[in-house]
Amino acid sequence: MSLDKIDIAILDTLQKDGRIANTALAETVGLSQSACSRRLDTLEKSGVIKGYHARLSNKALGYQMTVLVHISLSGQFEKTLSDFEAAVKRCPNVLSCHLMSGEYDYILRIAAKDLADYERIHKEWLSAMPHVTKINSSFALREVIDRTAVGMKPELG
């Protein structure tokens, strides 16, 4: 889907305030309410807008640690990957999982309450996942940036 300046303004505004009323959004981007509503509908149906969510604070919920976990599997056969991915989706502490190129097959971002909680997650979940041959954990010292999307800038030209 090709985005114009108004679409980009809508997306930028929604990223800052996903609860903004259509009236205020339309005013912000310079459209009528009905035109703004039609654009939103198009952005949603095309998949540009995947959903609306409350962004929670892991720390406020007691999850003080972020752990980046590199996983190696026994191979990259389709069944090996699908077995692992089905298992990782069941682990409630996994915030994101990415299939990678390079030395490791996957990188996971995990929320843990503390070191003892991560040890539990490691024993009960990570070590029990199918086809895992190597687990390498790195503990984040500080979060510098955590974006939910790329910045929206209109094309110059």
Provide the pLDDT for residue 152: 67
Q: What is the pTM of this model?
A: 0.82
Provide the pLDDT for residue 156: 44
Question: What confidence tens digit (pLDDT) does each residue in 34-76 have?
Answer: 999 999 999 999 999 999 988 899 999 999 999 999 999 999 9
- Spell out, as residue ranges, where the chain has pLDDT lower than 70: 152-157
Give the integer Cα–Cα distance in Å for 73 and 134: 7
Task: Judge residue 118's burial from the number of C-beta atoms within 10 Å of its C-beta, 0-12 exposed, 13-18 middle, 19 or more buried.
Answer: buried
* Residue in 74, 149, 70 with CA at minimum distance from that of residue 102: 70
Q: Are the C-beta atoms of residues 84 and 37 closer than 8 Å to each other? A: no
> Domain limits of the chain?
5-45, 65-139
Which CATH code is given to the segment(s) 65-139?
Answer: 3.30.70.920
Provide the pLDDT for residue 149: 74
Give the integer Cα–Cα distance in Å for 130 and 120: 17
Provide the pLDDT for residue 11: 93
CATH topology of domain 5-45: Arc Repressor Mutant, subunit A (1.10.10)
Give the integer Cα–Cα distance in Å for 36 and 60: 35
Provide the pLDDT for residue 157: 42
CA-CA-CA-CA dihedral for 80, 82, 83, 85, to nearest 10: 120
Determine the 3-state secondary structure of 110 from DSSP.
strand
Q: How many CB atoms lie within 10 A of CB 152?
A: 15
